Structure 1
Amino acid sequence: MAENGADQTAQPAEAAQQPPQVQMNILNQFVRDMSFENVMAQKGISGEVQPDISVQVNLDARKRADDVFEVILKLNIESKSKAGGEVLFVMELDYAGLFRISGVPEEQMHPFLLIECPRMLFPFVRRIVSDVTRDGGYPPLNLDTIDFVAIYRQELARRQAAAAAAAPAPAEN
């Protein structure tokens, strides 16, 4: 019986040492801003065109209240003709989500907001882009999966390089 008693007292101590469980709830998600400029239709160009599509992704996050954060996934999409280089369409989309997040240590909150939250928003963004491009008279643009970890690492490297460039050079003797 002593062994059982020892096990029972050890379990609560182990449970107390475990970090709190991460909880994330999407409170709301919405289109913050969107524009679709159908340049090809405005110029009256028609026919088959081979598009060259570029997609730029930017992320933003800010605290709105205790445990509530707004994360914005920003896309700039430009489609040009491969043959002549003329612009076919330009789409800009800012899609936001309000998240209630608890149990994430402070030092891990920044990557959590800019990696995990955009992952949750991305399927909805993909659907909006597909629908808008289809409704604009083009084949639906189905975005490839975005690697938010790579984007986060690139941004960290860019910030470190900018900080290193801004730092004063050591004085020579």
Structure 2
Amino acid sequence: MSEETSAAEQQQPQIKQRIIAQYVRDLSFENILAQKGANAEGQPEMSIKVNLDARKRAENTYEVITKLNVSANSKENKEPLFILEVEYAGVFHIEGVPEEQLHPYLLIECPRMTFPFIRRIVSDVSRDGGFPPLNLENIDFLSIYRNELARRAEAQKAQIN
């Protein structure tokens, strides 16, 4: 190991992170189909919306909330079948992330860590609600973050003009 390598390693901040807690902040499942007394035929058409929020709780401690809104409609007549809304939070202790990289870290890396738990909740709730279990595909949190930055930049341009 050369002196240059060890100097470069010393300059690299060591990121320390751990999940302190995870919990469901809010959960709602509305079985519209059962309320109407109808039966669903075939595969439903799904709409999934994702929203992210992060806030500082204490020194090096952050709460990151992933909000999912899933609505299922019948493909044939577009009748609503069910609506599932879940807010899932993770409380993270994070050290060593440079200030300018903290916002993307909180809204990209932290939701990636809690997503498997959200996926399981959505699957269980949809199954327990009388539908086939909804197994969510992986969510590209980097893409969501970039799209939100672009949307904010456009909104700012619109305000200036």
Instruction: Specify every segment of 5 or more residues in structure 1 that has no aligned partner in the other structure, as ranges.
Output: 1-6
> Any stretches of 5+ residues in structure 2 without a counterpart?
none
Q: TM-score, normalised by structure 1?
A: 0.88
Deviations 1:43-84 (A, max 9, x none): 100252430000000000000000000000000000000001
1:3 corresponding residue in structure 2: none
Q: In the alignment, which of 141, 146, 153 is matched to residue 153 of structure 1?
A: 146
Please tell me whether residue 33 in structure 1 is matched to residue 22 in structure 2.
no
**2:91 matched to which residue of 1?**
98
Q: CA RMSD in A?
A: 1.6
Residue pairs, 1:24-103, within 5 angstroms: 24-103=17-96
Q: Secondary structure at the match of 1:85?
A: coil
CA contact (8 A) 1:37 1:89 kept: yes
How many angstroms apart in 1 are the aligned matches of 2:37 and 2:111? 37
Partner of 1:117: 110
Q: What is the percentage of aligned positions where both structures have the same residue?
A: 60
1:50–1:83 contact (8 Å) kept in structure 2: no
Q: 1:108-157: per-residue Cα shift (whole Å, max 9, x none)? A: 00000000000001000000000000000100000010000000000000
Alpha-carbon deviation of 1:94? 0.2
Q: Which has the larger radius of gyration?
A: 1
Instruction: Confirm or deny that 1:164 pairs with 2:157.
Output: yes
**Alignment match, 2:14:** 21
Segments of 4+ moved more than 2 angstroms: 10-13, 47-50
Could you state the TM-score of these two structures normalised by the residue count of structure 2? 0.94
